[in-house]
Amino acid sequence: MFPADTREDTGDCRIESLKEFKFSDLKKATSNFSEDLLLGRGNYGRVFLGWVNQNTFTPTRQGDRIPIAVSRTDQECAQGHRDSKVVVSMLGRMTHPYIITLLGYCIDKKHDYLLVYEYMQNRNLFDCLHTESPEIAELLSWQTRLTILIGVARGLAYLHSLKDQVIHRDVKSRSILLDQDFNAKLGNFGFARYGSKIGEEHVSTRVMGSLGYIDPEYLQTGRCSVKSDIYSFGVVLLETLTGQRTYDWNRVDEYVYLPTWAKSPEIAELLSWQTRLTILIGVARGLAYLHLLKDQVIHRDVKSRSILLDQDFNAKLGNFGFARYGSKIGEEHVSTRVMGSLGYIDPEYLQTGRCSVKSDIYSFGVVLLETLTGQRTYDWNRVDEYVYLPTWASQFNRIDLNEILDPRLELNYPEEGAFECITLALRCVAYHSKDRPSSEEVLQSLEKIYFDLNPEHPEI
C-alpha cells in the first residue's frame, strides 16, 4: 500500500518572504566557504554546508542552530546568475512539502549570487543509489525507494497542475534531495521554466537538461512540455528500481543507455515459453475461482498491468478497484457507466452496459495475445485496420505462426501448443459473449497445453 501523504500540502502558489542574507554572514556560516564543508557541485557553482541560528538566521556555531545549504554561483557565469534569479522568482512563490524550500538569497556585486536552501541530510538520490557504502545501500529498501518515487511524483504533479504550469527540465536522481528520514524533495530548479498555461509547451532554441535524462523529442524539436519531465522521471524510476546508472560503458554497446538496457533481451529472456504459460495458468486459476464463487465476482479490469508477479514469476491477479458482484452464477452486472481499461474492454459490454464473467474472458483473451505475441494492445505503427491487437492477430493462420509469436522467444516453443494458445485467445476475444469459453474451459485448455509440454512433471 502506498504511504499516506501526512505532510501538510498548502497546494497554493504564494509569495514567500525570503530573507536577504549578507555575504559576510554566509561567509562566516560556511567558515569562509571551507572545502571541508563542500556538499557538492551544481550546474553553475558549488554548494556548501553552513550553520545559522534557527530564529534569526545569523551565523552561529552553538545554541539553537540549524544547518543550511548555500549554493554559490561562479562569478564569471552570467547564465548561472540569470537562472538564479529565475529560482528566486519561482521558488519564492511556492510552498509544497515535496519541493525544496528556498530560505533566502544574497546578491553581492563584488562577489556572487548565492541561494540559501534548507539542508537535506542524505544528500541526493544519485549518491545513495551509486554509493560504495553498504550501510547507505542497505537503507534503500524497496519500501524506501517506493516512498522516494511517490514523493517526487507528488512534487511533479504539483508543478504540472499549477495554473502557470512549471516544467522542471532537469529531473534526475541528483535533483532528488533526501532528508534524514529519506523523505524526498525535488530541487535543482535552475533550468525550470513556465509553460504559461496547462497543456502549453516551452519552445527554445537551446535545449537544457542532463545527459541521459533529456526527452529525445525535446532534443529533436526544441519543444519542451510537462511530458518531457515525465520522460526524465521514467529514467529516474528505472535507475531507482535497477540500481543501474543512466549510462554504463561496461554494458554491451547497444545497451549502454539505461532505458535501452531495460528493454533488452536479457530481461525478455526471463519470460520463456514455459514461464509465460505458467503465468497465464495462474491468472486463469484466479479467474476461475472468482467466477465459480456463489456470489460470482466480475473483475472488470483484467489486463497485463493487473497481473502481479513475485520473484519467481508466480502470478496473482490484482487491481480489484472495478470489481463487482454478479450476485449469482450466470447473472450480469448492468451499469450505465462502463469501467475497464482501453484495449481490454469487452465490446459487447461497451455497447450494452451489460457486464458478465464473459467480459473478463474477453479481457483475458487480450492478455493472452499480448503475452504470446509481445505486442501492445494498440500499436499505431501497424496498418490502420490492424492497429488493435485482436484484429491484427485474427488475420494469421497456422502457417503464419512464427510471424505472430514474440520473436524474443526465438522459436523456443512447441508449435502445436503455441497454435492451441493462439486459437484459445481468439476464441476468448470473440465479439459475442456466447461464443467465448468459460474460465473453467480456459483453465483446462491451458493446463492441457502445459501437460503436453511437461508430461513427466504435469503439476504446476
315: helix, strand or coil: strand
Cα–Cα distances in angstroms (integers) from residue 149 to residues 102, 177, 215, 235, 332, in the given order: 22, 11, 19, 12, 40
Catalytic entry in 83, 112, 170, 301: 170
- For 220, half-sphere exposure in the C-beta direction (CA atoms, 13 angstrom radius) is 3
Residue 166 burial by CB count (10 A; 0-12/13-18/19+): exposed, middle or buried?
buried
Residue 133 neighbours by CB distance under 10 Å: 10
| Alpha helices for 165-270 (secondary structure H) | 216-221, 226-242, 258-262, 265-268
Is 200:165 a contact under the CB 8 Å cutoff?
yes
331-340 long-range contacts (CB < 8 A, ≥24 apart) are 331/296, 331/356, 332/356, 333/298, 333/300, 339/300, 339/301, 340/300, 340/301
Give strand pairing partners of 307.
317
Contacts of 281 (CB under 8 A, 6+ apart): 443, 446, 447, 450, 460
307: helix, strand or coil: strand
* Residue 236 to residue 397: CA distance in whole angstroms: 42
Round to the nearest angstrom and report the end-to-end CA distance of the chain. 29
Give strand pairing partners of 38.
48
**8-state DSSP, 19:** E
Is 170 tagged catalytic? Answer: yes
Q: Tell me which residues are annotated as active site.
A: 170
